[in-house]
Each structure stands twice: as structure tokens, then as C-alpha cells.
Amino acid sequence: MRRILIRLLLTALSAAGLSVLVQAPSYADTVCSQTDPATGECLIWIEVPGTPGAPGEPGDDGPEDTGSGAACYWDGTSQGITKPPPGPVPCSSPAGYWSNNYHCYISPVEPQPPAGDPSWQGHEPGDGAVYNCYQPQTGLLITIWSQDPPPNSGTGPTPREVAQIAIERMRLSAINIGIAPEPGPDSIGLVGMPIWMWAKDPNAHTMGPITESASTGGITVTATAKVIRITWDMGDGTEVACDTAGTPYKPSYGRKASPDCGHTYEKSSAHEADDAYTVTATSSWVINWSGAGQTGTIRLDGLNRSAQIRIGEAQVLVN
């Protein structure tokens, strides 16, 4: 099940004479139960079908990992050929092995041409070799000279592996934790009081979107990464899945609950190590890549950072 947030600016709706119908248990008076402290908008959450989560494990409505892609591909655009469009091809055929660099199937010319043949391109027999280069897409068969055998793309990297190189260049990082009350021995939250969580000073490396490209083995791939969810392990056996970076807390918000990423502790942290709960924020990234006439998706879920927060119980003094 997935939760969708609808923001309604109540004052604007009232001024326009509009009303909103939400299918829910009826009440004598309609009261907004939660507002965004920064804008005054009424926040309404609607449950919609999604991938269910197990107890303590939130569901995931993000895209699935789509695999590796094919290492061998046809792309005639560099030759001004648009049909057929770029796409995967078998890495071998009766015509030889496929080379992405030459966009054709390669096989040695047997026997090799005699000395002085134009196909040697001015070289002598024994200095490299002459190869057949066959494009089934165009029906074109030519001969080429090469000092070394043209690279066999069937032994090269897949587009996903090239995308991984692009991802390494992104230098993705776990978020910097923003939480209120702030971590530290002099800051203590209270049982029953709202806790706010957010990505502190988010940037392209901690939240995305960020784009990088990489080339190897005749394949060029461009990848774009962004965070789709931050899962907060609150240290008390509860996980909170936030689909946004969260809202930074301001003292002017007082005791209001976070509009998009918060938690309330039901018991103090006095029984925990260091008298504090360890809060861990784990980022769930989605990377979409394209190249070699193919597209794919990579999921990355292992980036996390932790902080400690102390929760106490309010003491009531009676004279």
C-alpha cells in the first residue's frame, strides 16, 4: 500500500466557495487533522494499492532492476543509417563475431590477399591482416585491414557494467542527517513529542538527480540517479519510509508534527546503550541508464548514515 499526499490550501478553497469530498467515515464537522507548518496547507493522505511491506519493512513502489542488457549492439547512426534503429544483435553468426567498433561481423579473409592488393591499404602481408566486415542490417560486405584482430564485443562489458562505471563517477553518498531534537548530550526529546527527520543540505550527490557517462568496449552509456525513498530505522523497532527529503524543523513550528517525515517515540531511550536511540537513514536510489540502443534500471539501496538521539520522559511534580 502506498500513501499519496494531497495538499489543500483551506483558506483558498473557502474563499472560492469550493468544497472537497473525501470518502471516509462521516463526521458532524470536517476538521483538518494535519497542516504543513510552513504553508498552512491541509494535508490529506490517501492509501492506494502498491507493493505491500512486511511488519517493520516498508513496501516499495519503485521501478524494478531490469538486468544487464546485451554486450553486442548495432548502431548505424555514425554512418548516417537510421533504419534499423540501434539495438542488440547476436554476438556471433555464420559471418563471424560481432564488433561494436566496426558495427559488423568480423572474420579473417581466407586466404589472405596477395601482396599489393588494395585491401592491404599499403601494408605488406604479415603486417596485421585483412578481415571481412559484414553488416546484415544493410547487406554490406567490405574488407578492412587491422594491425590487431578487431575487438570481439561478445567478450566485452555489458551496458549495465558500463553504467556501473558511470555510477562510480557520481560519488553517491548517504544523506547528512537532519533530526529534531538535534543529536547531542545537551539535547533531549520527550516521549509522545513529534520527531522531525530530513536530509540536511541535500545536493546532487546525496539526493540527485545527477548524470554521468562512461565508455568502454565500444559501448557508451549515460546514467541518471536520484533518491526515491529514505528509510529511517528509528532504533526502537520502527522504520519510517519517507518519499521526500523531509522538511527541516524550525523553532517556530513548535510541537507540530512533520508534514512528510516524522516519528513519535512511545518510550524513553534510558534502556538503550549510551541512553540514546541509534537512528539510521538508508537511501534508496534508482539509476536509469541508456546506451548501446538499450535502456535499463539499477537499484542501489546500501548507502546509510546514523546518529544518536536521546528521548526522555516528562516528569510531573506535585506539591
**Grid cell for residue 60:** 516499495
- Spatial CA neighbour of 305 closest among 282, 287, 286: 282
More confident site: 31 or 161: 161
Find out if CATH 2.60.40.10 is the number for domain 63-68+157-312.
yes
Q: What percent of the chain has pLDDT over 70?
A: 78
CB-based burial label for 127 (10 Å; 0-12, 13-18, 19+): exposed
> What pLDDT, in 10s, does the model give residues 228-284?
999 999 999 999 999 999 999 999 999 999 999 999 999 999 998 889 999 999 999
**How far apart (Å, rounded) are the C-alpha atoms in residues 20 and 44?**
11
Output the pLDDT for position 67: 84
Q: What is the pLDDT of residue 181?
A: 86
**Within 13 Å of residue 39, how many CA atoms lie on the same side as its CB?**
12
User: pLDDT tens digits for 77-108?
Assistant: 888 888 899 999 999 999 999 999 999 999 99
- Checking if the pLDDT of 142 tops 90, the result is yes
For the chain, percent helix, then strand, then coil, each to nearest 5?
10, 40, 50
Chain mean position to CA 73 = 25
pLDDT in tens, 180-208: 988 766 667 889 999 999 999 999 999 99
Q: Give me 219's grid cell.
A: 559501448
Mean pLDDT computed over 18-26: 34
Residue closest to 3 by CA, chosen among 50, 38, 39, 42: 50
**pLDDT for the residue 318:** 47
Q: pLDDT tens for residues 27-49? A: 333 444 444 444 555 444 333 33
pLDDT tens, residue by residue, 56-76: 344 556 788 888 999 999 998
For 113, 118, 125, 146, 293, the CA distances from 110, given in Å and listed in that order, are 8, 16, 13, 15, 33
Note the pTM of the prediction, 2 decimals.
Answer: 0.74
d(CA 27, CA 133): 77
Distance of CA 305 to the CA centre of its chain: 17
pLDDT at position 315, please? 57
Beta strands 294-312 and 188-190 are parallel
Give the closest residue to 60 by CA, choosing from 71, 47, 51, 69. Answer: 51
* Range list for CATH 2.60.40.10 in the chain: 63-68+157-312
Cell of 149: 584482430
pLDDT value for 11: 34
> Which residues face 290 on adjacent strands?
222, 295
Least confident of 3-7, 65-69, 117-121, 122-126: 3-7
